[in-house]
Copies of this chain bind each other. A is one copy, B any other.
């Protein structure tokens, strides 16, 4: 967790929850990805390399913490969390490709296409994409077909052309387009916000919270999604490459408009902190049960990777 500074009991709970979710997500992926004894072994080794590589696991923790807050037992929530993380990991693999962001390092290690090759990276991403939907329709996650279908729909919508992938296309166009703050916000809601929001939503689905009961959680997701992207932009502008484990200063080099370039670093930082406070405010009705979600909002803007 790097140099994160946290105070109070919420922070202690978060630190322990982050350690635990990292271990648990790795264990689920380990069980889901046995290496076959044929020429597909390189594919599965590649999937394991990226899926079990020490990511922060923000999305899995959002999902599991939401589900546990609503009384869901940990195992089904963890499996659904690994479905979301599968989507996140596949998107990082494809994003890092030479024809996309062309990144050589990720989380302090060579990116997948550097460690293996580009073809394996494309197919490992595609296979993690499919794995997400296999997990969600596996009886080991939930035997309730209504819940399965709602989880699938939420994740597919958040990751496709009207979610993450659409946001990535808008982001690619940012080098030549002259986006204003409104458009940057919309881009972020798709590129990063959609999957973060889906994580919380899927926790609520597992918790059998009906859609009309999810408005506070959705407001929380909206705020932390925006705060997350502002923090990412600040990290790109001001962060330490070694701690981040990846190349930084890319937005500026590519001439992309970001929250930082449009607002200035100080105003962006103030905005991120205001959003964290606002996000916490949406959880009042959950009291002490929301401790981890509250602390996670703070972590999202304080992280150094």
Give A residues with C-beta under 8 Å from B: 36, 38-40, 42-44, 47, 90-91, 94, 97, 99-100, 117-120, 122-123, 125-127, 129-134, 136-138, 145-146, 148-150, 152-153, 155-157, 159-161, 163, 165-166, 168-170, 172-173, 177, 183, 186
What distance in Å separates the Cβ of A23 from its nearest Cβ neighbour in chain B? 24
In the bound assembly, the distance between CA atoms of A129 and B128 in angstroms comes to: 11
Is B134 a contact partner of A160 (Cβ separation < 8 A)?
Answer: yes
A39 to B170, CA, bound (A): 5
With A99-B119, A138-B153 as contacts: A160 and B131 at CB distance below 8 Å:
yes
**A177, B39: Cβ atoms under 8 Å?**
yes
Q: Of all chain B residues, which has the CB nearest A171?
A: B39
Q: How far, in whole Å, are A144 and B117 apart by their CA atoms in the complex?
A: 42
- Shortest distance from the beta carbon of A148 to any chain B beta carbon, whole Å: 4
- List, sorted by A's number, 30 A–B pairs whose CB atoms are closer than 8 Å: A38-B170, A38-B183, A38-B186, A40-B169, A40-B170, A43-B165, A44-B161, A90-B126, A91-B126, A97-B122, A100-B119, A122-B122, A123-B168, A126-B129, A126-B159, A126-B165, A127-B160, A127-B165, A129-B129, A130-B159, A130-B160, A130-B163, A133-B152, A134-B153, A134-B157, A136-B152, A145-B148, A148-B149, A148-B152, A149-B149
Cα–Cα distance between A258 and B123 once the two chains are bound (Å): 22
What CA separation (Å) do A163 and B138 show in the bound complex?
Answer: 16
Which B residue sits closest to A186, measured CB to CB? B38
B36, B39, B42, B94: the one contacting A122 at CB < 8 Å is: B94
For the complex, what is the distance from the CA of A133 to the CA of B170, rounded to whole Å? 22
| A43 (CB) vs chain B CBs: closest residue | B169
With A39-B169, A42-B169 as contacts: A133 and B131 at CB distance below 8 Å: no
- Cα separation A173 to B165 with both chains bound (whole Å): 29
Distance in Å from the Cβ of A86 to the closest Cβ of chain B?
10
In the bound assembly, the distance between CA atoms of A149 and B126 in angstroms comes to 20
Please measure, in the bound complex, the distance between the C-alpha atom of A282 and the C-alpha atom of B233, giving whole angstroms: 60
For the complex, give the distance between the alpha carbons of A177 and B38 in Å.
11
Distance A122 CA – B90 CA, assembled complex (angstroms): 12
Inside 8 A of A100's CB, which chain B residues have their CB?
Answer: 119, 122
A152 in contact with B123 (CB, 8 Å): no
Give the residue name and chain of the B residue nearest to A94 (CB).
B122
A156 touching B169, Cβ below 8 Å: no
The 6 A-B pairs of least Cβ separation, nearest first, read A130-B160, A99-B118, A137-B153, A133-B156, A39-B173, A148-B149
Cα of A148 to Cα of B99 in the assembled complex, Å: 35
**Alpha-carbon distance A138/B149, docked complex (angstroms):** 9
Q: Which residues of B contact A153 (CB under 8 A)?
A: 133-134, 137-138
Residues of B within 8 A of A118 (CB): 99
Most buried by B among A100, A125, A153, A169: A169
Please indicate the chain B residues that have their CB under 8 angstroms from the CB of A157 in the complex. Answer: 130, 134
Give A277 to B134 CA distance when docked, in angstroms.
Answer: 34
